[in-house]
Amino acid sequence: MDSQHPAQLPVLTFDLFDSTQVIHSVSTRRGGASTGPFSSLNLGIKVGDHQPAVYENRARFLASLGLTLPSTVALTQVHGTRVVEAARADGGRGMLPTVPPPEAADALITGVPGLGLLVLAADCVPLLFWDPEHRAVAAAHAGWRGSVAGMARHTVAAMGERYGSRPAQLRAAVGPAIGGCCYEVDGPVLAPLLRDQGRFFDRVTTATAQPDRRMLDLKALNRMQLEAAGLRADHIEVSPLCTACNADLLYSERRLGRPCGRFGAVIAIRDTAR
């Protein structure tokens, strides 16, 4: 994962994605208009920040990639596994107050060139997907509930059903999220994890001094689910960044508390016709 500075705005990118074919980026906290606990590039519109500042931040981030608010789609994220297809007419949904409100879901897929897909996070796992064979992309949001419920697998399946995407040809990036070093969880998380993802349990959790608590590595859980869904290990790139350890660079609700801003992960098929 590399740091780049298009238009003087710090962003994070993945080596796995071909920049001649797809546009993608993960935003940081830096380079925005927000102040106070939201300083400074908060992209979350529902966290209590001054809304004009949030729209300015979103516009700055997207402009650094050659995208715009009307050419990008976002969702009302609900910690589920629903996948929604974005069409050209959906541009601006979830991004502008003047268009129809976004759908409640946690993953977007599209085959429309130039249409950006945005997901937001502040410890949850952002997932980006690219199918170079069928020219399709996806963006997904996976907190602990979505990760345990198989958000990664559901996105891969949806791309296969809609575009004919073959898992072995897909590329996937697992973005910055709270790491196993900082994410201590207890029974309400461990019980469904053991029930629904038991085969991965001992590989994604480590013991703590308290027998009823463990440290959970959400990024590792999503990577293992992607491999189980048929993706090649060398087609998966995992960000090494823990949001809680890097709260000066990325928003982390666990480290910073509430109110807390949101960073974003976006992907789009490059419009080669332009």
Sign of torsion over alpha carbons 45, 49, 55, 59? negative
Alpha-carbon distance of 219 to 199, in angstroms, equals 16
pLDDT computed for residue 3 by the predictor: 46
Write down all domains in the chain, each with its CATH number in brackets.
2-269 (3.60.140.10)
Q: What is the pLDDT of residue 4?
A: 45
Both tokens of 185, joined, read 């969880």
Which residues, at least 6 apart from 197, have a Cβ–Cβ distance to it below 8 Å?
Answer: 148, 150, 204, 221, 225
H or E element that contains 125: strand 125-131
249 in Cβ contact with 241 (< 8 Å)? yes
Q: How confident is the model at residue 274 (pLDDT cuts 50, 70, 90)?
A: low
- pLDDT tens-digit readout, 85-138: 999 999 999 999 999 999 999 999 999 999 999 999 999 999 999 999 999 999
Q: Which runs of E-coded beta strand occur in 154-220?
A: 171-174, 184-185, 205-207, 214-216
Residue 136 backbone dihedrals phi, psi, to 5 degrees: -135, 155
pLDDT, position 5: 40
Cα 134 to Cα 83, 99, 144, 162, 177, distances in angstroms: 18, 29, 30, 10, 29
Confidence check: pLDDT of 70 > 70:
yes
The residue count of the chain comes to 274
- How do residues 10-23 score in pLDDT, each as one tens digit? 899 999 999 999 99
Give the model's pLDDT for residue 139: 98
The structure tokens 């796992």 sit at 125
If you count DSSP H runs as helices and E runs as strands, how many of each does the chain have, helices first?
Answer: 7, 15
pTM over 0.85: yes
β partners of residue 128: 139, 173
What the block records as the tokens of 66 is 């050659």
As a whole number of angstroms, the distance between CA 83 and CA 139 comes to 10
Please list, in sequence order, all residues whose beta carbon lies within 8 angstroms of the beta carbon of residue 106, skipping any fewer than 6 positions away.
75, 77, 78, 79, 80, 81, 82, 83, 119, 140, 141, 142, 146, 151
163 has pLDDT over 90: yes
Measured in whole angstroms, the distance separating CA 241 from the mean position of its chain's CA atoms is 13
Q: What is the pLDDT of residue 8?
A: 63
At residue 2, the pLDDT reads: 53
Quick: pLDDT tens for 210-235. Answer: 999 999 999 999 999 999 999 999 99
pLDDT digits (tens, 9 = 90+) for 105-120: 999 999 999 999 999 9
